[in-house]
Every structure is written in C-alpha cells, then in structure tokens.
Structure 1
C-alpha cells in the first residue's frame, strides 16, 4: 500500500487547484522534452499525482503548503521550466509554504528539499512527497484529536542517545524515512524531523498536556540529548 490509512483519509479531504492538474502523461513528457529536460519518472509522477494539492493542518493555517509544479498555462504556452542543477542532480521548484520563506524543490528522483539562494545548497527534508504528505497527515490527525502540541522545537544534539531512549517506543514506519521519524508511547508522540533551513534533526513533542511534554523535554535536556 502506497500510503498509510490516515494519509489516504487525509488526501481525500484536500482541495486541488485545477490550474495545476494535468492528467495526460504524454503532455508532461513532451513539455519536458521540448526544453531538453529528461522526463524523469518522479517528476512526471509529482505533476500527475500532487501538483495543485493544498496540504493543510487542522487549527494550524500557518503550516499550509501549496504543491505546484507545472500549470496548464505553462504547458500550453511552453513556458521556461525553472530548474537548479547541483552536483549533477536536477531540482525543480515544486511549491510554497505559507510561512517558511524558502524555495521548496523536488529532485529528479523525487526527494523533497528546500533551496537557499545564498549558499546555493539544497537541504533535503523528505525522501519523497509521499513521506511529506504522511507528516502532514500525522500532524492533521493530532490537531483533529486536540492533542497538546508543545510550542517549541529543539535541536537534537545526541542522536545515538535519543535512539537508545526510544527503542521501546512504537515506530510509525509509513510516516518515517531518513529525514523524519514518528514515535509514540502511551502518553507522548514525538516527531524527529529535519529543520527546513539546515541539515540537522529537530525534536517536537505532543502529549496530553503541557506538564507531560515539559517533563519529557526536561529529561532530554538534562541528558544533553537536545538543546
């Protein structure tokens, strides 16, 4: 199964901008070829499956992400395709986040990242847009269930100790990859994610209340696992 059950349920409720929906694969392939760009399978897939989707999180409008690769107008008028090439790999601009002031890109092999004009580097944040959606679906479900979200994000400074600490936690594999890990026990839900603006891990915690989260975070700080 491509997505988790929660992600399938999440996708059904999302809106999609028809101006970015192109269902004919050959049109996308021909558009890329017309500009001497290889029609990478993952780029064609992104356009067909995701372009135009608006990802939202219940009670967190600031987290809204609009996925947009090529529009109908782009293809009809053969508009130039914006790409970035870094270390031999091609990246395509793929959408915008309501509050994160960064360029979001998808690589030729489907990885999702952010691009910084200043240092001309891509910071990968998800192994695929499928995993990017899984994180949104998880956060949306927590918002729906009115789970308490601790307001702060912390730098993970001792990953080995953290992994030992959460060995017995439930690992949500469908929502996890090299850049994200979702974990839970009877009381807490933890997201080990990648900062949007740097290649480093962050820890974000959800629980039943603030005290529960603060107790866990205090322990992480005392053990010098986060800062």
Structure 2
C-alpha cells in the first residue's frame, strides 16, 4: 500500500477548514498552568500488538484503557514519527510516539517525545516493524511523566480530523540510537510542519502518572 508523501504536505490543509491544526510549537512561557491531574494507563497484556499498513503509515493496534483527569478512552493504535512533530520552545526532539485513543464522543492522542540515549538497552523496534503480530509491552514506550501539555487541534495526517484532544507528556522517552535508527529507516522524515497556534489555549497539568496491567478479559 502506498503511503502519503510528506513532500506534498503543503496541500494537506485543503482537506480541512480548521484554523486550529496540529502540530504546534509549545511555548512554555505562554502555557496556562493548571492544578494536579492524573493519568492512569491500563494495558491489556493478554493480547499482542498487531501491525497494519494504512496510507498514513504503519500502525500498531493495541488494547487498553487510558484515564486522564476523569475522562476515559480506549486505546486504538500507536505509531511513530521520525523527528518530533510538536516542538517545545522551538526544539525538535529526535522522534515522537502517538497513542491514538477513542471514546463515544471524541478522539484523543497521547504523545511522547523520543530522544537518543546510548546508555539505554535497545527495545528491538526493528523486530516490531517487521512482524505482523508480536508480544510487545507498550509500557516500554511510555515515559514516567511529571506533567503534560494539553490543547485542541487536528490529526497530523489527511484528512486532518478536527476537535482532537492532544496530551503531550512533558518527559521525553530515552531510546537506544539503534531504535531511533529503526524508526528513521521505516518512517523517514514523516513529521508534519508546525502549524500556527492562532492564539489557542495550551495548558500544562502536573500529573500523578500510573501504568498498570490487565491480566484477564
């Protein structure tokens, strides 16, 4: 299946009328600090990760639940970007992980920046990218955050679905350079250009962060 061409991304805005698109540059001196929040992630470790190719790139379907500040979503899938999509004070991290979440009313994305660290043991992401189904723990891809940034935007690939709740963890996940190289080999430069924030509200929530496991259906 042919993937979307990121060299054509200047034309993507034609697929939406939204003036509040993603990704954006998060400017820490302009965010509104909110009270303590909570993120609870419950992983279903009985089921493996299933890979599927779609036009926006390889997706990894998973099961579990994410509760953020009293709102609950079901995990649908995750994917990787070579070169972070969201910037932090103009800085682009080495990559970005997106965990797509859904409930009856809304779609959300939980994002984590990725950064190289030679002291980290490889997660063998190359194996993940070349298997249709694999027993792989999503826990290893989720950093222990101290907070998160929140704003409303769109998905970052066509058709740029609107009214997406974005939650970007404030602590990047350190990965072995071999894992980042595997991401780049499979998804080279698949990051969208920064979009204007147009005065959007960006919030920062300090957070109590917990990851647990579901061992039964």
TM-score range, shorter chain: under 0.3
TM-score by length of 1: 0.26
Structure showing greater relative contact order (alpha-carbon pairs closer than 8 Å, 6 or more residues apart): 2
- Higher strand content, 1 or 2: 2
- Higher helix content, 1 or 2: 1
